[in-house]
């Protein structure tokens, strides 16, 4: 009888199959959790801008230079928005005159004077901000902005 019971073993998957399924489910759940975390951290704090949310608007209300990853620099007052973007108001930028790259040949332009007539603010994605700098009151840009503002206030 002992020989007969050994001969009638069931053919098919072993009893270890449930552990394999549990392991695969655990791997899928872990990978999904990691993907969710990676997506969230990329949206909240994009690579290259870590620390930007707390430092970008350190001097809210003062003029700042905002350096973007496309090489453009905008000057204005940077504010934090609730949706993760930044709003730059009282916006100015440098426009080169002629074919030279010299700073002496550049003019400070107020946003809104372009052909398409944009509003005087920009909503900036923090993923495109390289860094910001506060302007001192005696900088050439700050003086040019003050001159522009005083001329606009003097107009009737």
Query: What global pTM score does this model have?
Result: 0.57
Spatial CA neighbour of 88 closest among 133, 122, 125: 122
Q: Count the neighbouring beta carbons within 10 Å of the beta carbon of residue 132.
A: 20
pLDDT tens string, the chain, 156 residues long: the values are 555 555 556 665 555 567 778 888 889 888 888 877 766 655 544 434 444 444 555 555 678 899 998 989 999 888 887 777 888 888 888 887 766 555 566 788 888 777 777 778 888 888 888 888 888 888 888 888 888 888 878 776
Spatial CA neighbour of 152 closest among 105, 123, 104, 120: 120
To 10 degrees, the CA torsion angle through 143, 149, 151, 155? 180
């Amino acid at each position: 009888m002992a020989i007969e019971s050994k001969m009638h073993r069931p053919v098919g998957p072993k009893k270890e199959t449930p552990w394999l399924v549990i392991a695969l489910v655990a791997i899928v759940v872990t990978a999904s959790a990691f993907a969710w975390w990676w997506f969230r951290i990329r949206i909240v704090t994009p690579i290259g801008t870590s620390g930007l949310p707390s430092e970008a608007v350190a001097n809210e209300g003062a003029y700042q230079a905002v350096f973007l990853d496309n090489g453009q620099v905008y000057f204005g007052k940077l504010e934090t928005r609730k949706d993760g973007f930044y709003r730059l108001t009282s916006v100015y930028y440098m426009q080169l005159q002629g074919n030279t790259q010299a700073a002496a040949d550049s003019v400070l332009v107020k946003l809104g004077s372009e052909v398409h007539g944009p509003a005087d603010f920009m909503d900036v994605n923090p993923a495109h901000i390289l860094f910001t700098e506060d302007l001192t009151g005696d900088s050439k840009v700050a003086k040019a902005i003050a001159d522009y503002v005083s001329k606009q206030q003097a107009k009737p």
